[in-house]
Homo-oligomer: A and B are copies of this chain.
């Protein structure tokens, strides 16, 4: 049997297997996030990754398998987007402001996360399991953290922290969707800082029972 070495792109010595898998995933990310699943081309992925098609297919079973691997790759360990533990030391309005700011930064114009959301929602009908992966790895942990935050600062049983967390997240994500994802900046103008401040004010008002609100600003 002849040794199967094929120095196609001999930029240096042979790359490690992990490197190849990595660069294929990098190429897949570029391609799938730019074109969506159906219009993505395995040829272009192989080309961008600098591997031959047979190599690509030796690492990943088929297009669907590569897409699945990519989504796992992109959503694993990303749980902490916009939520760091130090938040629990801050007064509620400050904590909320930091979360809102971080989440909006992560989703800002044409960042990968924005495009990932486009692709996930777009393919959620045909890849329900991947959509759930997205929810489990991204949405759920963030929601749970915010729920904890509200629970910790909630004076009583009056407001349901789980619902408050969903309102808060929903208000932010919907803002991202209308303004950035759907390009509604000019149609539905709303300055980011005005929205964040108004949102937090309303949330604080909602969690404060009959007493008055803790002094902010």
Q: What is the count of identical protomers in the complex? A: 2
Give bound CA distance, A212 to B211, whole Å. 11
Give bound CA distance, A190 to B118, whole Å. 24
Q: Mark out the residues of chain A between 168 and 188 whose CB falls within 8 Å of any chain B CB in the assembled complex.
A: 169-175, 177-178, 181-184, 187-188
- Interface: A124 (CB within 8 A): yes
Give bound CA distance, A45 to B22, whole Å. 39
Chain B residue contacts of A91, Cβ below 8 A: none
- Interface: A135 (CB within 8 A): yes
Chain B residue contacts of A53, Cβ below 8 A: none
Chain B residue contacts of A199, Cβ below 8 A: 163, 167
Give bound CA distance, A15 to B134, whole Å. 47
The stretch from A34-42, A80-88, A94-102 touching chain B is A34-42
Give bound CA distance, A173 to B181, whole Å. 14
Chain B residue contacts of A178, Cβ below 8 A: 135, 139
A170/B164 in contact, CB under 8 A? no
Among B120, B194, B195, B201, the residue within 8 A (CB) of A182 is B120
- Interface: A203 (CB within 8 A): yes
B140/A188 in contact, CB under 8 A? yes
A177/B173 in contact, CB under 8 A? yes
Give bound CA distance, A177 to B120, whole Å. 11
15 more A-B contacts (CB under 8 A) besides A135-B178, A166-B195, A167-B202?
A: A115-B125, A121-B121, A124-B181, A124-B183, A131-B182, A132-B182, A159-B198, A159-B201, A159-B205, A163-B199, A166-B190, A171-B174, A173-B177, A202-B206, A202-B207
Using a CB–CB distance below 8 Å, which chain A residues touch chain B? 34-36, 38-39, 115, 117-126, 128, 131-132, 134-136, 139-140, 143, 159-160, 162-164, 166-167, 169-175, 177-178, 181-184, 187-188, 190, 194-195, 198-199, 201-203, 205-207, 210, 212
8 A-B Cβ contacts within 8 A? Answer: A38-B38, A117-B121, A122-B123, A159-B198, A159-B201, A163-B199, A206-B206, A210-B212
